[in-house]
């Protein structure tokens, strides 16, 4: 069963407290998502490290049940 936007967002926010997550349904089928994640924890990390932090918060679902998540990460600008 595909993951809902709400489910994905909740997991990312639990893994990265204080983050902001913006979900977009890319294909309109509830199965192809884009997530924009802005998190203070990303400061000083490389892009690969930032994406890995999001994948970790998704608890191994990325690449499996969640096969299509287009990810953009950023550090909050104050």
What residue ranges bind other proteins (CB under 8 A)?
A: 47-48, 51-52, 55, 60, 62-64, 67-68, 70-72
Judged by beta carbon, residue 39 or residue 62, the one nearer other proteins is 62
Check: CB of residue 15 under 8 Å from CB of residue 53.
Answer: yes
Residue 77 tokens, joined = 């600008």
Residue 15 C-beta: closest distance to other proteins, Å: 14
Type and span of the H or E element at 13: helix 5-15
Judged by beta carbon, residue 3 or residue 72, the one nearer other proteins is 72
Judged by beta carbon, residue 38 or residue 71, the one nearer other proteins is 71
Residue 17 C-beta: closest distance to other proteins, Å: 22
Alpha-carbon span 57 to 16, nearest angstrom? 7
CB atoms within 10 A of CB 42: 21
């Amino acid at each position: 069963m595909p993951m809902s936007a709400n489910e994905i967002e909740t997991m990312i926010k639990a893994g990265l407290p204080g983050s902001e997550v913006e979900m977009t349904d890319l294909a309109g089928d509830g199965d192809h998502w884009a997530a924009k994640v802005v998190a203070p924890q990303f400061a000083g990390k490389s892009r690969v490290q930032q994406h890995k932090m999001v994948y970790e918060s998704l608890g191994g679902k990325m690449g499996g049940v969640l096969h299509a998540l287009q990810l953009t990460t950023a550090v909050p600008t104050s």
